[in-house]
Structure 1
Amino acid sequence: MTSLIFVSTNDLSKTSGSGVATREIVRAIGSVTTADLCVICPDPAETLSTDLRAVVDRFRFLPAETNPGHPLWHAKIETALGWHLLAAIRVERPAAVVTRLAQSTLFPAPICRALSIPYLLMVRGVVNRDDEYDRTKLSAIVEQVVRLNVSLADEVTVAFEAVREAIGDYRRLDQSHIEIVPNAVDPERFTPVNREEARVACEADLPPDTFVLGFVGTLAERQMLPALFRALSDVPDVHLLVVGSGPVGDRLRTLTADLTIESQVTFVGQVPYNAVPTYIGACDAAYGVVNPKRPSNPIKVYEYLACERPVLTSRSPEMTFVEHKNAGVVIEEVTPAAVADAVRELRDSTPNRRREMGVRGREYVLANHTWATVARRVLPDTLQRPRAHVEEAEE
């Protein structure tokens, strides 16, 4: 039986951030591949989901994720990864190794090159940034790790254009081009929910007849949330539902008090992952912009649209479809004034127009941004099931 190895240093039991995306990628690969799937990843903090275990034939667990930002943890995990990968290769004799790049992904590329195993590299974010938000004393080392992986990989896929620009010089002219494979969503999990029913179901005590703008995600600098909060002070008849937690949460609560908009904002903290569609459904529209200093391809935008909610986003190569498909409002710069104007536009749209935006958004996402689409674009055709077989398996 042909086998495939997937390598990641993300905890696949996490319900936020890169853990969610990596788990969905693995689940999608397991669903579309004809090969036995062996996954090498950290020992999960929680029980892995049943649907993930159903598509993975074998796991090899690395030491549990403890302090992923510390160099000693990276050294420990990479040492274990090298040994586990060699052992898995001896047993599995894989047709390919797929790796999600991390800051210290050191061994998979040279091991695969030495053993003539196709190495498929997934770069989902800018791993090494030199900006005010994310500095590291080991940035030069990280840069060389990225260069090693990109230069040795047989195929490289990235989530957005800024990543391709950052690493493009690491490929030789005779190597395959870096392909952009944007982020995605599970359309079976993120489905439309009736707004009134969602407002009753979620624990947010939202005003029943008020326009509600939502945000779901980590409360971090890259989300550019202060601009949204300041915009609210100019749009007093809008309510903001904030779902999630993170490092700037306390600052946002302080800002809410300073702007005297406490009555317009509801913080609910982090909710179970399977409850997120209900909270999105309680909103009339949702916020998910791209920070120009930290380019990204926010998964939340695809989740909002899968739930048939129009989005307020900012201009980037990957978000141009929102404007083209009329699935929301795209702003040129993320400033309080620009956000306020966009919020007014969405608020003043009729419920039917917003509903049509959401429907168009979901249709586009289903056609272009499912995790199964990502998996098919990453794997070679020889390791994929025919589409009809996949659809039957999903049913």
Structure 2
Amino acid sequence: MRILYHHRTLGDGAEGIHIAAMMAAFRQLGHEVLLSGVTPSLSPGSSHRLIGGLRSLLPRVAFELGAAGAGVLEYVTARRTIERVQPDLVYSRHARFDVATLAAARRLGVPSVLEVNCVFTSPEYEQFEPHIMRQMARSFERRSSELATSVVAVSTPLARALKALGRDDVVVIPNGADPSHFDPRRCDGMVVRNRHGLDSTTLTIGWAGILREWHGLDLLLAALASVPDVRLLIVGDGPARPALERQARQIGVQDRVVITGRVVHEDMPDYIAAMDIAVVADERTGVASPMKLLEYMSMARAVVAPRKENIKDLIDEGVDGLLFEPGQADSLARTIDRLVADPVLRAAIGASARRKVERERNWRRMAEQVLTSVSSVTRPLRTDG
């Protein structure tokens, strides 16, 4: 099968990792994958900087109008691309005002999949990134969900948000991890521990990602203050770092906290291997499928995460992870302390988490489920519009 993978994103950060992983998974299944989009390269470059610069410089209304208007040219380009490469399937990652490629696929009778990681006009997302022209944006989101042969959402609450747009047959396929890359048997956490002054006997709580105010690291620091004799390894860097360092000094845990600075994704397995307990402190949208949680699980770490519906798509509580009440530092502290006190439980949860990723929550299995979702849906493949 020849798959045309379309995205209208910068293709960097977590989204770039996701795109590259899904393309690799389709190829592992024996399919040919071609990449198209506004920024078809997944390597940072001038087009990434240009789009990022325009987004920051233009008034929001101008950027929204431009993003919507770009669809006219994109439709022509997408149609020519589809006619030229003759794909058997168009796979499109959902983005704001992005309907052109799906419309071209529908017009030419080519099946399509819309992968949705968020509904930009949903209340859960609008509170963080509101639209100036929300009704127009919502009409685009509704149209994209109508055009696709199959719609895949990464979480149950996200599928519900898509149902509110009028699409009832959404397939829930949470994200995955690469168990061959995130493999505890191939990693050496002691190298990282030695680099950061953590000896082999130090029980270490870990967190990884970009340090931003909405990731709940302030909650994790507050919980740490109630759990004695452990260290906290924060893997990453970001704009919230000064505030976190200030909070750590104020509550007297600065000597128990290590912030590594930025670590490239390729090196992340060794850093997760240095953790005994891995934490997702918050998930602000309530609809995402956090890849770092799955990477923790793939590394056979004992994971702790907030008790939210999207997280429950990934974790069977008490089997392959423990959950705490969202936003409650005392609940987080009690949950961590339970794992600190019970090494047998830590090992059992970590082993179960690893098995889940190997069997279910990996990119190859996701690709298989995506292709099954297309074959199981019967929808008109051609319109006269």
With normalisation by structure 2, the TM-score equals 0.84
**Kept after mapping to 2: 8 A contact 1:10/1:22:** no
Q: 2:265 aligns with which of 259, 267, 273?
A: 273
Q: Secondary structure at the match of 1:66?
A: helix
- Within 1, Cα distance between the matches of 2:333 and 2:212? 20
1:332 aligned onto 2:325: yes
1:237-293 residue CA offsets vs partner (Å, 9 max, x unmatched): 221111122332332222222222111111112112111010000010100145365
Q: Write the distance in 2 (CA, Å) between the matches of 1:6 and 1:228.
A: 38
CA contact (8 A) 1:243 1:270 kept: yes
For 1:389, the equivalent position in structure 2 comes to none
Partner of 1:287: 279
Write the distance in 2 (CA, Å) between the matches of 1:107 and 1:302: 32
Alignment of 1:1-395 (within 5 A): 2-12=1-11, 14=12, 16-34=13-31, 36-41=32-37, 42-44=39-41, 46=43, 65-67=51-53, 69=55, 71=63, 74=67, 78=71, 81-130=74-123, 131-171=126-166, 177-192=169-184, 197-201=188-192, 203-291=195-283, 293-320=285-312, 322-324=315-317, 326-350=319-343, 352-380=344-372
Question: What is the aligned partner in structure 1 of residue 380 from structure 2?
Answer: none
* Secondary structure in 2 matching 1:157: strand
Aligned partners of 1:45, 1:157: CA distance in 2, in Å? 22
CA contact (8 A) 1:185 1:299 kept: yes
Q: CA deviation at 1:113?
A: 2.2
State the Cα distance separating 1:327 from its structure 2 match.
Answer: 2.1
Distance in 1 separating the partners of 2:49 and 2:204: 43
- Cα distance per residue 1:347-368 (max 9 Å; x no partner): 1112x43222211110011111
Q: Return the letter of the residue paired with 1:166.
A: A
Deviations 1:40-79 (A, max 9, x none): 031537379xxxxxxxxxxxx9996434745277368656
Aligned equivalent of 1:391? none
Unaligned runs of 5+ in 2: 57-62, 376-385
Question: How has the CA–CA distance of structure 1 residues 7 and 144 changed in structure 2, closer, same or farther, with 3 Å as cutoff?
Answer: same
Number of residue pairs aligned between Structure 1 and Structure 2? 362
CA contact 1:219–1:247 (8 Å) conserved in 2: yes
Structure 1 residues 117 and 372 mapped into 2: Cα distance closer, same or farther (>3 Å)?
same
CA contact (8 A) 2:68 2:98 kept: no
Cα 1:104–1:205, aligned 2, differ >3 Å: closer, same or farther? Answer: farther
Distance 1:268 1:365 in 2: 27
Distance 1:19 1:47, change over 3 A: closer
On the 8 A contact 2:150/2:374 being kept in 1, the answer is no
Compared with structure 1, are the counterparts of its residues 287 and 151 closer, same or farther at alpha carbon in structure 2 (3 Å cutoff)? same
Does structure 2 conserve the Cα–Cα contact (< 8 Å) formed by 1:129 and 1:135? Answer: no
Give the drift of 1:3. 2.5
Question: For the residues of structure 2 that align with 1:68 and 1:309, how far apart are their CA atoms?
Answer: 41
CA distance in 1, matches of 2:70, 2:217: 34
How far is 1:322 from its partner? 3.1
Gaps of at least 5 residues in structure 1 are 49-60, 384-395
SS at match of 1:297: coil
% identical aligned pairs: 21
1:379 to partner: Cα distance: 1.7
TM-score (ref. length: structure 1): 0.82
